[in-house]
């Protein structure tokens, strides 16, 4: 016989304490992660923000963003006033007041001036590698999702591409060094001594020389592009597959060729997805140190990438400074002191802000496009 | 009566699995021919063989027999597939306008053919929309997104898009499956209007739809053509017991 009174419990609900304990534990773990993130960002903001922001207009230390990186000279004048001047201003001071007016001089590498060089270098590396990676990645994704027969071999290819994503970035750096820096062919009139193989071209005295691009912007871009290719390919293939089959059917049924169908009915509708996923890859490209330290980056450089060059090819074949490498240099290669902290904290803060802007941009763009393109 | 499509002993397989067995039928020009039968009987496969849209599916192949359109075997190696599909339009079960404007949807095939003159495009779009009885409803918002239309309107837009190509033959694969009865009625009215100009082949699950708008009906079962004849005969005096069972609703 069913007794309705049994529906009313006596005492606490079943498992009351267990539930509470589990709940407390899980929330504790979650919030401790948030706490770690907050501490990390908080520390960088507290240390770095004062470098970049100022109390008076224009509120941002433009010099730090737009000046070149220089050695910092710290010295006293005869009255005991302490000066901190970047190398260029220091030499002007010396010319004006004479070397005998300098007392207790100390120099700190990389600590004076601003970081326009690393910012420009990172921008160029990012743009170049994204262009390369998008071209190769989207092409491969189109082949994999639109043309290739879904055979075991293609699945193996896809798996290989996915695995590429798990390779540590330092390995990509070494790969880039051994391939792009040392081996890839160039067309030149005077091959270098370390050329592995030269093939005469029969046009005046040009030869194809397998001597690599040496450490240069283009070697860095190619290495970074290799690193993010799996991300781009996977994201692009997903976006391509998300385009309904019906669009392809409709287009083919109207007499479009396969390529016309892809160009007009598949790519345009998957492009927003491809681009937003690629924005996430940008933050990775901009942030990696290991792939560029052997292939493109240089710690100190007087000229900006576009200064003192003969043309675009010259820009591509010269080394650049880069923000993550600059931060590595500031952290590992110079002694830490009160005079170096401005450059150290400031660089990290600027870097973090840049990456945050890119991430935020991709999140906003993604949600906007998602609501716009629905089927 | 002119024959538009001749299907001769057609056998068709998906990755070795035979789905059509020796289908033979003649489809008359400027008439509506309906394919009926339970799910999985091969009627969609058969209609998709007529414009070779099955080519896209890996492993799908004709394993015997032929489909001839105006006496040309469309599975010949040297067929111009794009031209074939231009001559044979298709409307799908799930309406599938592109996420573009109404105008651009209808102008799609003309643009593919390289037409860029605004005046000519305008005329093609207007005529196609008028033929599909959509013009009055959309003429003031031609450049609005096609996704703003109701389901029935989107399907009529797909019909407009198909006939903007000025095809000979129009294939309709369950065009009303995703529509409500009122939208279905409109499409059926449209079909009886369109058959004056086009040879129409329609796959349908809805037997009353077949009786309402088709001249000829083919009943298929398990990949075989069981019975084919004038619609009235198939429904009222079926020759085959299987057909009778299906059209009277005893099975299927």
Rounded Cα distance between A24 and A28, Å, is 6
B67 beta partners: B7
Decide if B108 and A149 are in contact by the 8 Å CB cutoff: no
**Distance between CA A288 and CA B196 in Å, rounded?**
67
Contact A255 B58 (CB under 8 A): no
CB-CB: which of B58, B86, B96 is closest to A255?
Answer: B86
**What is the DSSP-derived secondary structure letter of residue B14?**
E
> What ranges do the domains of chain A cover?
4-52, 70-113, 116-166+228-372
Interface A:B, Cβ pairs < 8 A: 65
Note the Cα B57 to chain centre separation in Å. 18
HSE-CB of A362 using CA atoms within 13 angstroms: 17
Task: Name which of B83, B90, B98 is nearest A253 (Cβ-Cβ).
Answer: B90
Q: Is A254 on the interface with B (CB under 8 A)?
A: yes
pLDDT along chain B (252 residues), means of 10: 90 92 94 92 93 88 92 91 93 92 93 91 94 91 92 93 92 91 91 92 91 93 93 92 87 59
Contact A256 B90 (CB under 8 A): no
Q: For residue A275, what pLDDT is reported?
A: 82
Taking a contact as any Cβ pair under 8 Å apart, which residues of chain B between 1 and 30 contact chain A?
none
Window 151-210 of B: residues touching A by CB (8 A cutoff) are 158, 161-162, 165
For the beta sheet containing B199-203, the strands, ordered from the edge strand earlier in sequence to the opposite edge, are B88-91, B169-173, B199-203, B32-36, B216-221, B224-230
Which chain A residue shows the shortest CA-CA distance from B91?
A250
Give me the residue from A149, A249, A256 closest to B58, CB to CB: A149
Bridge partners (DSSP) of residue B28 are B3
Burial class (CB in 10 A: 0-12, 13-18, 19+), A106: exposed
Phi, psi of A165 (to 5 degrees): -65, -20
Token pair listed for B164: 């903007």
Nearest CB to A246 within list B56, B94, B161: B94
pLDDT in tens, chain A (375 residues): 788 888 888 888 888 899 999 999 999 999 999 999 999 999 988 888 888 887 777 777 878 888 888 888 888 888 888 888 888 888 888 888 887 878 888 888 888 888 888 999 999 999 999 999 999 999 999 999 999 888 899 999 999 998 988 899 999 999 999 999 998 888 888 888 788 888 888 777 888 888 889 889 999 999 999 999 999 999 999 999 999 999 999 999 999 999 999 999 999 888 888 888 788 788 889 888 899 999 988 888 888 888 877 888 888 888 888 999 999 988 888 888 888 888 888 899 999 998 888 888 878 877 777 666 655
pLDDT at residue A375 in the model = 56
CA A121/CA A218 separation, integer angstroms: 12
Does A254 contact B109 at a Cβ distance shorter than 8 Å?
yes
Cβ proximity of B158 and B129 under 8 Å: no
Q: How close is the nearest chain B Cα to the Cα of A248, in Å?
A: 10
- The pLDDT score that the predictor gives to residue B188 is 93
Rounded CA-CA distance B89/B69 in Å is 13
Q: Under an 8 A CB cutoff, do B99 and A373 touch? A: yes
DSSP A8: S
Contact at 8 Å (CB) between B135 and B106? no
- Out of B90, B96, B161, the one facing A244 most closely (by C-beta) is B96
Chain B residues with CB-CB distance to A270 below 8 A = none
Residue B70 tokens read as 């105006």
Greatest distance between any 2 Cα atoms in chain B: 57
Q: Does A372 touch chain B (CB under 8 A)?
A: no
Question: Which residues of chain B does A251 touch, with a Cβ-Cβ cutoff of 8 Å?
Answer: 98, 108
List all residues 6 or more positions away from B168 whose beta carbon is below 8 Å from its beta carbon.
B4, B69, B70, B87, B88, B198, B199
User: Residue A102 has what pLDDT?
Assistant: 81
Residue A260 at interface with chain B, using a CB cutoff of 8 Å: yes
Question: Rounded CA gap, A370 and A365, in Å?
Answer: 8
Long-range contacts of B137-141 (CB under 8 A, 24+ apart): B138/B102, B141/B102
- CATH code: domain A116-166+228-372 is 1.10.3720.10
**Residues near B158 by beta carbon (within 8 Å), at least 6 away in sequence:** A250, B91, B92, B95, B96, B97
- Which residue out of A239, A244, A255, A375 would a mutagenesis test of the B interface target, given it has the greatest number of B Cβ atoms within 10 Å? A255
Residue A169's pLDDT is what?
A: 92
Nearest by CB to B96, from A250, A255, A256: name it: A250
Q: Which residues contact B135 (CB under 8 A, 6 or more apart)?
A: B126, B129
Quote the longest CA-to-CA distance of chain A.
Answer: 109
Instruction: State which H helix or E strand residue A332 sits in.
Output: helix A323-332
Task: Determine which of A253, A262, A267, A271 to mutate to test the interface with B (most B C-beta atoms within 10 Å).
Answer: A253
DSSP string covering A150-199: --HHHHHHHHHHHHHTTS-HHHHHHHHIIIIITTSEEEESS--TT-S-EE
A249 touches chain B (CB under 8 A): yes
Q: Do A254 and B56 touch (CB under 8 A)?
A: no
- Cα B131 from Cα B127, distance rounded (Å): 6
Q: For the purposes of burial, counting CB atoms within 10 Å of the CB of A204, is it exposed (0-12), middle (13-18) or buried (19 or more)? A: exposed
Q: Which residues of B touch A250 (CB under 8 A)?
A: 90, 92, 96-98, 158, 161
Is B96 an 8 Å CB contact of chain A?
yes
Of A251, A253, A373, the CB nearest to B51: A253
What pLDDT does A209 receive?
86
B44: contact with A, CB 8 A cutoff: no
Going by the DSSP 8-state scheme, the letter that residue A265 receives in this structure is I
CB B242 within 8 A of CB B221: yes
Residue A86 per-residue DSSP state: E
Q: What is the pLDDT of residue A374?
A: 58
Q: Does A131 touch chain B (CB under 8 A)?
A: no
Q: Which residue has tokens 């790969």?
A: A175
For residue A256, the distance in angstroms to the closest alpha carbon of chain B comes to: 6
* Distance to chain B for A146, nearest Cα, Å: 10
* CATH, range B3-247: 3.40.50.300
Domain limits of chain B? 3-247
Distance from CA of B3 to the nearest CA of A (A): 22
Looking at residue B138, its pLDDT comes to 92
User: In terms of C-beta density within 10 A (0-12 exposed, 13-18 middle, 19 or more buried), how is residue A166 classed?
Assistant: exposed
């Amino acid at each position: 016989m069913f007794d309705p009174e049994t529906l009313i419990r006596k005492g606490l609900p079943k498992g009351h304490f267990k539930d509470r304990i589990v709940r407390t534990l899980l929330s504790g773990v979650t919030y401790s992660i948030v706490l770690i993130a907050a501490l990390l960002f908080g520390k960088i903001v507290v240390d770095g923000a004062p470098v970049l922001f100022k109390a008076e207009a224009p509120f941002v230390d433009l010099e730090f963003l737009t000046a070149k990186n220089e050695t910092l000279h710290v010295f006293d004048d005869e009255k005991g006033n302490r000066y901190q001047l970047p190398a260029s201003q220091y030499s002007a001071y010396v010319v004006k007041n004479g070397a005998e007016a300098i007392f207790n001089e100390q120099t700190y590498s990389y600590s004076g001036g601003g970081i326009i060089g690393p910012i420009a270098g990172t921008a160029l590396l990012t743009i170049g590698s994204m262009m390369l990676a998008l071209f190769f990645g989207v092409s491969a994704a189109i082949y994999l999702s639109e043309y290739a027969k879904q055979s075991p071999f293609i699945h193996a290819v896809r798996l290989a591409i996915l695995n590429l994503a798990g390779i540590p970035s330092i390995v990509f750096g070494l790969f880039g060094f051994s391939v792009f820096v040392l081996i890839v062919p160039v067309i030149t009139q005077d091959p270098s001594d370390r050329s592995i193989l030269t093939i005469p071209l029969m046009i005046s005295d040009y030869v194809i020389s397998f001597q690599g691009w040496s450490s240069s912007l283009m070697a860095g871009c190619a290495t970074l592009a290799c690193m993010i290719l799996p991300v781009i390919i996977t994201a692009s293939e997903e976006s391509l597959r998300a385009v309904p089959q019906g669009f392809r059917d409709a287009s083919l049924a109207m007499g479009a060729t396969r390529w016309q169908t892809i160009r007009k009915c598949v790519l345009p509708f998957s492009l927003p997805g491809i681009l937003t996923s690629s924005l996430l890859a940008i933050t990775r490209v901009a942030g990696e140190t290991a792939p560029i330290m052997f292939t493109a980056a240089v710690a100190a450089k007087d000229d900006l990438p576009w200064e003192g060059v003969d043309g675009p090819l010259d820009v591509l074949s010269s080394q650049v400074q880069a923000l993550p490498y600059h931060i590595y240099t500031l952290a590992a290669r110079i002694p830490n002191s009160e005079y170096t902290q401005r450059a150290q904290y400031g660089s990290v803060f600027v870097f973090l802000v840049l990456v945050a802007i890119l991430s935020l941009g991709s999140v906003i763009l993604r949600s906007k496009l998602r609501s716009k393109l629905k089927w | 009566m002119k024959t538009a499509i001749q299907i001769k002993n057609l056998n068709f397989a998906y990755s070795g699995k035979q789905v059509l067995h020796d289908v033979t039928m003649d489809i008359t020009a400027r008439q509506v021919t309906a394919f009926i039968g339970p799910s999985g009987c091969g009627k969609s496969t058969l209609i998709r063989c007529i414009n070779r849209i099955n080519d896209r599916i890996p492993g799908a192949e004709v394993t015997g027999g032929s489909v001839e359109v105006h006496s040309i075997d469309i599975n010949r190696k040297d067929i111009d597939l794009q031209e074939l599909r231009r001559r044979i339009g298709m409307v799908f079960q799930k309406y599938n306008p592109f996420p573009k404007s109404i105008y651009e949807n209808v102008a799609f095939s003309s643009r593919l053919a390289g037409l860029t003159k605004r005046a000519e495009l305008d005329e093609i779009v207007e005529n196609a929309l008028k033929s599909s009885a959509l013009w009055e409803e959309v003429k003031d918002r031609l450049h609005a997104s096609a996704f703003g239309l109701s389901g029935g309107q989107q399907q009529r837009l797909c019909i407009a898009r198909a006939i903007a190509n000025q095809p000979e033959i129009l294939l309709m694969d369950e065009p009303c499956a995703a529509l409500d009865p009122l939208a279905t009625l409109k499409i059926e009215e449209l079909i009886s209007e369109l058959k004056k100009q086009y040879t129409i082949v329609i796959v349908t699950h809805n037997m009353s739809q077949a009786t309402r708008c088709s001249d000829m009906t083919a009943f298929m079962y398990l990949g075989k053509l069981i019975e084919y004849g004038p619609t009235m005969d198939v429904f009222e005096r079926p020759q085959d017991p299987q057909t009778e069972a299906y059209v009277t609703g005893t099975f299927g």
